[in-house]
Amino acid sequence: MNADRLGESTGLAGFCFYSSEVFDRSILSNQSFVKIESGLKQNRKEELHMNEMALKYGCNPNQKIAKVYMKDGKDLPFTVLNGRPGFINLLDAFNSWQLVKELKEATGLPAAASFKHVSPAGAAVATELSDTLKKIYFVDDLKLTPIASAYAAARGADRMSSYGDFAALSDICDKETALLLKREVSDGVIAPGYTEEALEILKSKRKGTYLVMQMDADYVPEEQETKQVFGISFEQSRNNAKITADLLAERPTKNKDIPDAAVRDLLVALITLKYTQSNSVCYVKDGMTIGVGAGQQSRIHCTRLAGNKADIWWQRQNPKVMALPFKADIRRPDRDNTIDVYISDDYEDVLAEGTWQLFFTEKPEPLTREEKKAWAAKLTGVALGSDAFFPFGDNIERAHRSGVQYVAEAGGSIRDDHVIETADKYNMAVSFTHLRLFHH
């Protein structure tokens, strides 16, 4: 075959390969659309089965070819009831679903999580919210069921980070939870089911594009999991470690008293950390995270980051902050951001002349350092979990400043004695779990 003929054949082969790829992707996209559409009929059990779903793109728009699929040929364990999922949406959905499922199993309480970029901004189990918390979570005008309360608390933990979140619910989404989701800025939700009324409410969100996913609550993945990095395949056993109160049995500190409510809070912290990018530290109070420090290379930076978030959560309940004279038409995200700045050392950014008028009906007085310190001293009974051991006692020192009295960490540092000594100084109760919870 001469060179011209060879080039012609190669070109035709390339065109055929390209055409076949486009055709295959077209079929896959159509199958995905059928899967999504069939999900809308889930209450009538008319859905089709498939083990692949094409996605709009990968983590970024330039990563154009993307899909999810089951390597074993089984059906995908979820159904899209509304909207079109993206790559990061699904990472958030499956991590958050595992978190709320395990919280429910560990505590027996409905659980919810608010995820952003594959880490929880907040997580909570259903507890009775105080009038103060209802107000700072902007739900004091809503009827709250247990699962709605759990989501309000999960999102309220760090409202700045939860902006545009992916929500996860351990229980069937009811009307009350759907109404709460509808008025917040959120990308999607995953739950084991939805009432018909809830589904209709959610389908109307974001001009009909809000992502609603139903997870098969009975789905159990394979024991071995794989991932690729730079074309190289990794395989490991899934992290099936069960987090129960038994993990808290070893208490090396002088104070060994951890009441039931604190045990629950430590379990919430540890399960949250299991699905948080490492290094990570989590502060919890009354069944809800109040500060999550994720993805830091230094553990003390995790402790500081999570502690600072816990401090902001608490300062939002400061009577002076709650009495801020906001304009009636201010949007919730703008109010969140204004409060965040007002509490910080940059308060002049919202109190400067010509600026405060955008948010307030009258100019507030600054929240002084002395006022913040006095209010901070009233925060007590906080539980803290760490995804690995504390290498130094400085983590305990920082935790103490944010009201921490109960700690669960792996133990095993060569400086455990210093950590214990520091905890004893503040009469803290510490548990060594001997369980590392790195997540990457």
Query: Which residues participate in catalysis according to the annotation?
Result: 116-117, 279, 440
Q: State the CB neighbour count (10 A cutoff) for residue 434.
A: 12
281-285 vs 211-215, strand pairing mode = unpaired
Q: Give residue for tokens 């995200």.
A: 333
Verify cis geometry, omega within 30 degrees of 0, for the bond prior to 239.
no
Let me know the angle formed at the C-alpha of 101 by 389 and 168, rounded to the nearest 5 degrees. 100
Q: State the CB neighbour count (10 A cutoff) for residue 204.
A: 13
Sequence length of the chain is 440
Q: Are 166 and 275 in contact (CB under 8 A)?
A: no
The dihedral over CA atoms of 100, 437, 392, 302, expressed in degrees to the nearest 10, equals: -50
